[in-house]
Amino acid sequence: MVYIGLAMRSLLLAASALSLLAQDLSKLSIEKVSGGFTFTEGPVWHRDNFLLFSDVPENKIWKLTSEGKFLFRENTNGANGNTLDEKGRLYTCETRGRRVIRTDLKTNAVEILADKFEGKRLNAPNDIAVRKDGHVYFTDPAFGAQSEGRELDFFGVYHIPLKGPIELVAKTAGRPNGIALSPNGRLLYVADSDERAIRVFDLANTGKAANGRVLIKGIDGPPDGIRVDEKGQLWVTCNNVAIYSPDGKFVNKIDFPETPRNIAFGDGDFSTIYVTAQKSVYRVRLDVKGSMQY
């Protein structure tokens, strides 16, 4: 029975990789949908058919619709990563505010979810993911000037449970960056920009993380944002957008005119990737759908 299970798992992983390879990525249409920004980050697709993303140095969050781009929020305290939960609430990592906030988009009410750990201010929250049941995970590195005035002597990955104070998932030697969840919400993926690796953690029903280990090594450039498709494949922004199978095998890549920084699945069928890349936002239609875990 053990051998049958392992063989079946190998077949499923191989089929997953082949399904993506069936699409000729060299012939994809890469469309620049907006430009003229300073440093784009944190894309997330809203169910009401628009994309939100950050321009970090400019302290702005933009809204992109079929009619064009519109300023969604200014004075954002260096907003970087964004995501949504099942109720449509917006979660944002403020690198300059050194906190994680949640915004009710119906009332514009803002809550501070995390700004300290054990009484010390966070470094510079970077990217964030929310499981369908409401458990929140975020990374807290420090890049460049963000290192000034640090109160914590480590880089961290954190869990905000449904009740109680935030929990430390891991202290990392390298700086954690992008973060994402598997389609079933049982795995947490974290990019390590310094080690050019992706780590994975097992998640319990309680939201607690355990068994951290390296899943992918030797990524082409420092990995930044991550997303996962419905097949469990990882889409990693680095010097390109690199695609990996659920067991960490390289599958393919997509090159862009500018260096990709983050990524989100979007459009009504969730079969488009939106890529924030330096000064622009790009869009690519695919034959695979994104996972509905944010």
Q: For residue 17, name the pLDDT band (cuts at 50, 70, 90).
A: very low
Q: For residue 260, name the pLDDT band (cuts at 50, 70, 90).
A: very high
DSSP string covering 177-226: EEEEE-TTS-EEEEEETTTTEEEEEEE-TTS-EEEEEEEE---SS----E
The predicted-structure confidence for 154-183, as pLDDT tens digits, reads as follows 999 999 999 999 999 999 989 999 999 999
Share above pLDDT 70 across residues of the chain, in percent, rounded to a whole number: 91
pTM attached to this predicted model: 0.91
Show the domains of the chain with their CATH numbers: 28-285 (2.120.10.30)
Give yes or no for a contact between 204 and 167, defined as CB atoms under 8 angstroms apart: no
Q: Angle at Cα 243 formed by Cα 237 and Cα 246, nearest 5°?
A: 120
DSSP string covering 6-40: HHHHHHHHHHHHHHHHTS-GGG--EEEEE---SSE
- Mean pLDDT over 107-134 rounds to 97
Which pair of tokens denotes residue 150?
A: 């640090």
pLDDT at 22 over 60: no
Cα gap 64→94, rounded to integer Å: 20
For residue 19, with 0-12 CB atoms within 10 Å meaning exposed, 13-18 middle and 19 or more buried, which class applies?
Answer: middle
Q: For residue 147, name the pLDDT band (cuts at 50, 70, 90).
A: confident
pLDDT at 5 over 70: no
Q: Write down the mean pLDDT value for the chain.
A: 92
The predicted-structure confidence for 177-214, as pLDDT tens digits, reads as follows 999 999 999 999 999 999 999 999 999 999 999 999 99
Determine the 3-state secondary structure of 164 from DSSP.
coil
Cα gap 46→86, rounded to integer Å: 11
- Mean pLDDT over 16-33 rounds to 69
Q: For residue 23, name the pLDDT band (cuts at 50, 70, 90).
A: low
